[in-house]
Amino acid sequence: MTIEKATVPPTLFERATQRAISTPPRQSTDATREKLLVAAYEQFCVDGVSGASMEDVAKRAGTSRITIYRKFESKDALVDEVIAHELWEYLAYFQKAMTEADSFAERLVTGFVTSIQQVWSNPLIKRLIADDPALVPGLVGGGDGRNMYAISQFVAEALGREQQAGNLDPSIDPDMAAELIARITGSFVTTPGGQVRLDDTAQLEQLARSYLLPMLKVPTN
């Protein structure tokens, strides 16, 4: 008799991360929908996801309960859209920062610092983590590790391109390096404290140059 392993439902962060990485942001011309998304973001930051109702969001947006359900079939759908939007904003910021870095070493340092600070300082994500610690595993892994895999693959693809361009030592496995980077940055975001100040950009940059670059055999000069 074969016992099938139960499928773990994707967590909130898993759904949003996979969507943000795999699909481009929605280009909406629906002003009411956009107003509801802004209102939902603000309401979630104030009351948390569990504490905010669809009626609260509709009231903040100046619309009716009927209207919000016409635009979003459920609260889960609204939450997914808001979190995905925040991640799209982060990815856009991340990509811009990458294009402004003039070397592989600087891209690694910038990517490390940007990933930590942009996620850690996001008011909504901070509220979600504070209100529901059970969401933390979903941010850095969770479930069957799908979120960690999605984030690692995103980083691995970037490292693979650098390796093809001759910037990353051929002895480095991009997939393994990407997972290690994802786990390190994820742990800083979800368990801040200790000797590293996440609001100290210079300290984070030095941390990356002292430990991350040597780990990937990238010259630090």
pLDDT of residue 1: 46
- What residue ranges of the chain are covered by domains with CATH 1.10.10.60? 29-84
Q: pLDDT higher for 9 or 3?
A: 9
Q: What is the CATH number of domain 101-216?
A: 1.10.357
pTM: 0.79
Whether the pLDDT of residue 8 is over 60: the answer is: no
Q: pLDDT higher for 45 or 150?
A: 45
Q: pLDDT higher for 197 or 124?
A: 197
pLDDT range class, residue 14, cuts 50, 70, 90: low
Whether the pLDDT of residue 9 is over 70: the answer is: no
pLDDT of residue 7: 58
pLDDT of residue 5: 47
Q: pLDDT higher for 73 or 220?
A: 73
pLDDT of residue 72: 94
pLDDT of residue 88: 83
Q: What is the CATH number of domain 29-84?
A: 1.10.10.60
pLDDT of residue 41: 95
SS3 readout for the chain? CCCCCCCCCCCHHHHHHHHHHHCCCCCCCCHHHHHHHHHHHHHHHHHHHHHCCHHHHHHHHCCCHHHHHHHCCCHHHHHHHHHHHHHHHHHHHHHHHHHHCCCHHHHHHHHHHHHHHHHHCCHHHHHHHHHCHHHHHHHHCCCCCHHHHHHHHHHHHHHHHHHHCCCCCCCCCHHHHHHHHHHHHHHHHHCCECCECCCCHHHHHHHHHHHHHHHCCCCCC
Whether the pLDDT of residue 15 is over 80: the answer is: no
Give mean pLDDT, residues 52-72.
95
Whether the pLDDT of residue 115 is over 50: the answer is: yes
Averaged pLDDT score across all residues of the chain: 85
- What residue ranges of the chain are covered by domains with CATH 1.10.357? 101-216
